[in-house]
């Protein structure tokens, strides 16, 4: 189970950073544009900074770095013990 958690964190980190950098123009920006249009169609107006591509790219890079940091932490003895405690059934 620990390997699945680590693999998920690794994939999330790499995918998020890729969507915020090299794939932003082709995939990331259309996804965030569709998200923005969905909110405005429902009558909600998200904060204006969420429409800024530079903010969205920086946010994605930071989120991806957080996933990669969590991937590293889960690989340490303390991190694997934490995951084992979370996954273990309550007594």
Inter-CA distances, 60 with 13, 44, 72, 84, 88, Å: 9, 23, 18, 28, 31
Number of domains in the chain: 1
User: Would you say residue 20 lies in a domain?
Assistant: yes
Give domain status of residue 6, yes or no: yes
Domain coverage including residue 80: 2-86
Question: Is residue 91 domain-resident?
Answer: no
Dihedral sign from CA coordinates of 21, 55, 12, 35 = negative
> Is 22 part of a structural domain of the chain?
yes
Read off the pTM. Answer: 0.81
pLDDT band at residue 82, thresholds of 50, 70 and 90?
Answer: very high
The tens digit of pLDDT for each residue in 6-55 reads 999 999 999 999 999 999 999 988 988 888 888 888 888 888 888 888 99
């Amino acid at each position: 189970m620990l390997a699945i958690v680590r693999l998920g964190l690794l994939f999330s980190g790499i995918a998020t950073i890729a969507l915020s950098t090299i794939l932003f123009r082709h995939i990331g920006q259309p996804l965030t544009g569709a998200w923005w249009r969905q909110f405005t169609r429902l009558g909600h107006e998200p904060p204006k900074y969420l429409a800024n591509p530079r903010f969205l790219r920086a946010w994605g890079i930071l989120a991806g770095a957080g996933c990669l940091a969590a991937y590293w932490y889960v690989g340490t003895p303390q991190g694997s013990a934490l995951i084992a405690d979370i996954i273990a059934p309550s007594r």
